[in-house]
Amino acid sequence: MIFLIWLYKKYLFFSQRLVLYLSIAALADTVPYMMGTVGNTFGCKAQGYLMTYFDWTCVAWVSVITANGYRLIKEEMSYESSESLFHLICWLLPALVAGIHLIWDAY
């Protein structure tokens, strides 16, 4: 999906870029699941952190896509001016959530 978006330049519109960001987060989300069983403590914590982080980034980007779609339909406006704010929220907030689990040694 990421390659097709890049190939056909489908990242020019805001809604298409949102799908691109979700695709990047989903691609990164597959990495810890493909790591398999990690036996040592550091590897287990790293895998748990990555799983939690990228799962939450996917949820965050889906929430942004949903909110943008709702606003487009209901108010005929877009959140395009808030794109940089969405990047901060969707990439940093999951890091805080996953970091809390890491601090509490919940992995």
Does 65 have pLDDT greater than 90?
A: yes
Task: Give the rounded percent of residues in the chain with a pLDDT score beyond 70.
Answer: 98
User: Among 11, 47, 49, which residue's Cα sits nearest to residue 32?
Assistant: 47
Chain segment 10-23, per-residue pLDDT in tens:
778 888 899 999 99
* DSSP labels, 70-97: HHHHHHS---GGGHHHHHHHHHHHHHHH
Distances (CA, A) of 55 to 10, 60, 61, 75, 82: 25, 9, 10, 30, 22
Q: Is the pLDDT of residue 1 over 70?
A: no
pLDDT of residue 30: 95
Provide long-range contacts, Cβ within 8 A and 24+ apart, for 72-77. 72/15
pLDDT digits (tens, 9 = 90+) for 77-106: 888 889 999 999 999 999 999 999 888 987
